[in-house]
Structure 1
Amino acid sequence: MIFVLLPALNEEKSLPTLIPKLNTELSNFNEGYKIIVCNDGSTDGTQKMLEDFKRSIPLEIIHHKINRGLGESSRDLFELASQLSSAGDVIVRLDCDDTHEPEFIPNLINKIREGYDVVVASRFAEGGGQLGVNSYRTFISYGANSFMKLFFPIKGLREYSCGFRAYRAEKIKEAVSFFGNNFIQLKGLGFTCTLEKVVKLKLLDAKFTEVPFILRYDQKQSSSKMVGSVTTLGYIVMTILYYWPWGGWRNSIKSRHANWSLSNDHFQ
């Protein structure tokens, strides 16, 4: 099975384009699939549109009555995917604003099938890039990725801030089982959760790689949900938590996970 996760907030303009493309791409696989959308308190026609799509495609909706933010939406999506998935399944997460083209999904899945745990769609891999991004956002993006690469170096990874990724279902099930509600701990700090998942999976010895993709920001129709100051604060908080001399993530989590693995060898 392939599980596709979509966090959505006021995406009534993007969904009529994205969902049919996604459904067509997934239909080309010789295996089942399910699209899971978290409607995070949308105030436009997003919920009704999702209900309409649900009549004709395998789609499940998580509905937040009020906006809870990307962190809580991601937590709910990954926890549900962990419950529904089985060994051999793949979990793909992408944005709901039509900037992540579904045509890149086969390349992500193929790398998972080769034995990787996490595959990132990367603007910085050879052949990757972006369209429609202004010079300011480009500068901020490169700066953020340089910061992350410096403080959280991961072999095989150059792209840290893009949420378009594929995950081996077993590794997500392991992460949810081990971390519990703290797999995404910094839920109130904007887009920090996108980096936090990568860091937490690294501490569980996940194997990473990238595939090139083109970010289509020129296709974005909804407004940006990122609050730069909040996300920047989140990166700083996570860096402190990771490197704190006594009980920092890099020491405490690795130690706890080693002991946990001895009694949970079915996740290996």
Structure 2
Amino acid sequence: MRLNIVLPIYNERENLEKLFADIDKACTEAQLRYFLVCVNDGSSDGSKELLEELSKRYESHIVEHRLNRGLGETIRDGFECAAELSGADDIIIRLDADNTHAPQYIPDLVNAIRDGADIAIASRFLPGGGMVGLSNDRTVISKVANIIFRVCFPMGGLQEYTCGYRAYRASLIQRAIDFYKGNFLQLRGLGFCCTVEKLVKLKLLGAKLQEVPFVLRYDLKASESKIALNVTTFGYAMMTILYHWPQGGWRRTVRKRLRVQRSEQ
């Protein structure tokens, strides 16, 4: 079993040295094999050159965007690349490259997958989890957003919807890409909503979820925030409509296709 770790990167030069070292430390201590899938989304701060240097010390593959395309397309390309590189028993992990997602939680996420989960989610809202260094406004927005998602997309008591720090069975991602084709991340142009869209679509395929407590360390972030709240909020609204739309919504479309697949087996 190998971990294929997806890192979306846009102007993160100041964070990369520490991130790579921390990933290596966490995986080495837990005796986990790993490979880094780095998607450089048109960085202009020297991240590209540093990634090329780091690739000589750490096993990795670099996907290069000549122009900045945004998080959605970066995540799509990273997951498609990781799925191609993975065996069915491998695990795909995605974490942010700005040092807000501490690699020390990787073994906990892997253990949750080994215990039977299809997706292990690093959660700020479980006992033992939390947020450090986030402004009061951002903290309130994050908590309110997750409450709204629990109403719009209920997933058996799931608390954490918006944190992208997760581990996935590679076989689940491979199946999802084959099932949804180019629409696995349909709203990839609408800011950070791709993080929730991916979770929603995998749950529609029957994925088993498990949360693991973690502390978001926004105080360790050396780069500027890239989130565009207006675009992301619009994306969330569009996703809610597409999910619940009476005729041809995601729920009904996926369930119908799954019934057809089962009848053909």
Aligned residues of 1:97 and 1:221 also touching (Cα < 8 A) = yes
Alignment partner, residue 68 of structure 2: 67
State the distance in 1 between where 2:101 and 2:32 align.
Answer: 22
Q: TM-score, normalised by structure 2?
A: 0.97
Partner secondary structure for residue 109 of structure 1: helix
Contact 2:150 2:157 in 1 (8 A): no
Q: Is the 8 A contact 2:133 2:219 kept in 1?
A: yes
Query: Which ranges in structure 1 are unaligned for 5 or more consecutive residues?
Result: none
Secondary structure at 1:166 match in 2: strand
Q: For 2:157 and 2:165, how far apart are their aligned partners in 1?
A: 16
Cα deviation code 1:137-163 (max 9, x no counterpart): 011101111111110011251000000
Alpha carbons of structure 1 residues 258 and 80: separation in structure 2 relative to 1, 3 Å: farther
Kept after mapping to 2: 8 A contact 1:41/1:63 = yes
Change (3 A) 1:127 1:259: same
Residue aligning to 1:246: 247
Is 1:96 the counterpart of 2:97? The answer is yes
Give the aligned partner of residue 170 of structure 1.
171
Q: State the Cα distance separating 1:31 from its structure 2 match.
A: 4.5
Q: Which whole-Å CA distance do the structure 2 matches of 1:183 and 1:261 have between them?
A: 20
Answer yes or no: is 1:255 the counterpart of 2:260: no
Q: How does 1:128-207 map to 2 (within 5 A)?
A: 128-207=129-208
Alignment of 1:1-40 (within 5 A): 1-40=2-41
Q: Describe the SS at the equivalent of 2:225.
A: coil
Letter in 2 for 1:211: V
- Does the 8 Å CA contact 1:156/1:209 hold for their aligned counterparts? no
What value does the CA root-mean-square deviation take over the aligned residues? 1.1
Distance 1:14 1:212 in 2: 23
One-letter identity of the residue aligned with 1:23: D
SS in 2 for 1:177: helix
Q: Deviations over 1:164-204 (max 9, x none)?
A: 00001111111011011111110110001000000000100
For 1:156 and 1:14, the matched residues in 2 are separated by: 34
What are the Cα deviations for residues 186-238 of structure 1, in whole angstroms up to 9, with x where unaligned? Answer: 01100010000000001000000100000000001111110000000000000
| 1:43-99 residue CA offsets vs partner (Å, 9 max, x unmatched) | 011001100010011011000000000000000011111111112111110000000
Please name the residue that 2:224 is paired with.
223
How far residue 28 of structure 1 moved from its aligned partner, in angstroms, is 2.9
Letter in 1 for 2:99: D
CA distance in 2, matches of 1:157, 1:193: 18
Unaligned runs of 5+ in 2: none
- After superposing the two structures, state which structure 1 stretch, 249-258 or 218-227, moved more: 249-258
Task: Kindly indicate whether residue 128 of structure 2 is the aligned counterpart of residue 127 of structure 1.
Answer: yes
1:52 and 1:261 mapped to 2: Cα distance? 48
